[in-house]
């Protein structure tokens, strides 16, 4: 029996799916698995880092072997199929919901996204029964509506009465009348998430929301990711989303090639949008006038 340590380099703000699968696989083979505590020696330690901007952990690790993985280290590293397709160990993070992918890859090639380079074009990945162990399921597909397998799985999810959250968003450009009718069959765990990453997306988001509402798709709310690169462009989208009565969430642009920090103005804009009490009561022009006095270099939004 081997002693296995797991390190979530990004922290515990969101459960690390790869570590949960590694935990399940090693436990199935009789190994002793725990989150790395830094106090004991291990036969093997896995370090997983999702985000390139997460600082590396420099603590000395007492282990015969240390294996690093995740996009934060390399976009080419992958789990072996026997581990990739095991049901995750949800007890590792004490989860009361299931987590996984129905599809991998994406047919889009957005400049800010590493998914097409890492995972390739959109393709089938798993059946919902492979990892569903709770009524509530969080799905991390990048473009599930672009894959016939994904659409069939949504039908199955509706039939099995699961409640789901597609937390990476649904592609508004693909939501036509038939897709809206399909999504009306689904029970939603939280929001329906869309994205409006440039002004060209405005008519697509408007049409998608109108179709979903017409077909009585009733999530808790409509949540729209807003990429913040050019402030003028982002502000136009935010004003449109406010008129559409949906909930925007601003994400400052990060260049994965250079791993550069967002600008202070991009951070201030995201802070204004995402703090709803401020967003509902203060205009951007007024907030902007005071933001630079209050924002510090490197402050999180």
Question: Is the domain of 75 the same as that of 117?
Answer: no
Last residue of one domain, picked from the residues 84, 102, 135: 84
Beta-carbon contacts of residue 29 (< 8 Å; ≥ 6 apart): none
Residue 279 lies in a domain: yes
Residue 301 lies in a domain: no
Question: Is the domain of 25 the same as that of 121?
Answer: no
Which residue carries 């160990």 as its tokens?
A: 89
Q: What pLDDT, on the 0 to 100 scale, is given for residue 301?
A: 41
Number of other residues whose CB lies within 10 A of the CB of residue 220:
12
Question: Is the domain of 49 the same as that of 162?
Answer: no
pTM of the prediction? 0.89
High-pLDDT (> 90) share of the chain, %? 72
Q: What pLDDT, on the 0 to 100 scale, is given for residue 154?
A: 98
Q: How many domains, in total, are found in the chain?
A: 2
Range of the domain at 79: 1-84
Pairwise pLDDT comparison (205 vs 72), residue with the higher score = 205
Last residue of one domain, picked from the residues 41, 68, 84: 84
For the chain, the straight-line distance linking the first and the last C-alpha, in angstroms and rounded, comes to: 44
Question: Is the domain of 25 the same as that of 129?
Answer: no
Last residue of one domain, picked from the residues 84, 100, 127: 84
Residue 217: band (very low, low, confident or very high) from pLDDT cuts 50, 70, 90: very high
Q: What pLDDT, on the 0 to 100 scale, is given for residue 119?
A: 73
Instruction: Work out the average pLDDT over 180-203.
Output: 95
Question: Is the domain of 90 the same as that of 190?
Answer: yes
- Containing 100, the helix (H) or strand (E) segment is strand 98-100
Question: Is the domain of 18 the same as that of 139?
Answer: no
Question: Is the domain of 165 the same as that of 180?
Answer: yes
Cα angle 267-273-279, degrees, rounded to a multiple of 5: 130
Average pLDDT of the chain is: 90
Q: What pLDDT, on the 0 to 100 scale, is given for residue 257?
A: 66
């Amino acid at each position: 029996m081997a002693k296995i340590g797991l390190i979530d380099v990004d922290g515990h703000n969101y459960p690390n799916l790869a570590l949960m699968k590694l935990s399940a696989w090693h436990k199935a083979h009789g190994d002793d698995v725990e989150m790395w505590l830094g106090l004991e020696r291990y036969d093997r330690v896995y370090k997983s880092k999702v985000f390139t901007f997460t600082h590396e952990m420099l603590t000395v690790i007492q282990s015969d072997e240390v294996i690093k993985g995740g996009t934060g280290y390399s976009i080419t590293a992958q789990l072996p199929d026997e581990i990739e397709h095991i049901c995750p160990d949800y007890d590792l993070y004490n989860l009361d919901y299931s987590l996984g992918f129905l599809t991998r890859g994406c047919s889009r090639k957005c400049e800010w996204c590493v998914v097409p380079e890492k995972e390739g074009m959109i393709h089938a990945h798993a059946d919902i029964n492979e990892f569903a162990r709770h009524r509530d399921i969080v799905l991390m597909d990048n473009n599930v509506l672009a894959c016939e397998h994904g659409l069939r799985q949504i039908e199955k999810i509706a039939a099995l009465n699961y409640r789901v959250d597609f937390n990476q968003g649904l592609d508004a450009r693909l939501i036509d009348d038939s897709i809206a009718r399909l999504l009306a069959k689904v029970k939603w765990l939280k929001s329906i998430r869309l994205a409006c990453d440039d002004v060209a997306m405005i008519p697509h988001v408007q049409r998608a929301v109108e179709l979903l509402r017409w077909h009585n798709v009733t999530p808790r709310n409509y949540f729209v990711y807003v990429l913040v690169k050019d402030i003028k462009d982002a502000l136009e989208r935010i004003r449109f989303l406010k008129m559409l009565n949906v909930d925007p969430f601003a994400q400052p642009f990060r260049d994965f090639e250079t791993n550069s920090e967002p600008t202070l103005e991009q951070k201030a804009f995201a802070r204004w949008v995402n703090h709803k009490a401020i967003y509902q009561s203060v205009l951007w022009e007024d907030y902007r006038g005071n933001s630079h006095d209050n924002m510090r270099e490197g402050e999180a939004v």
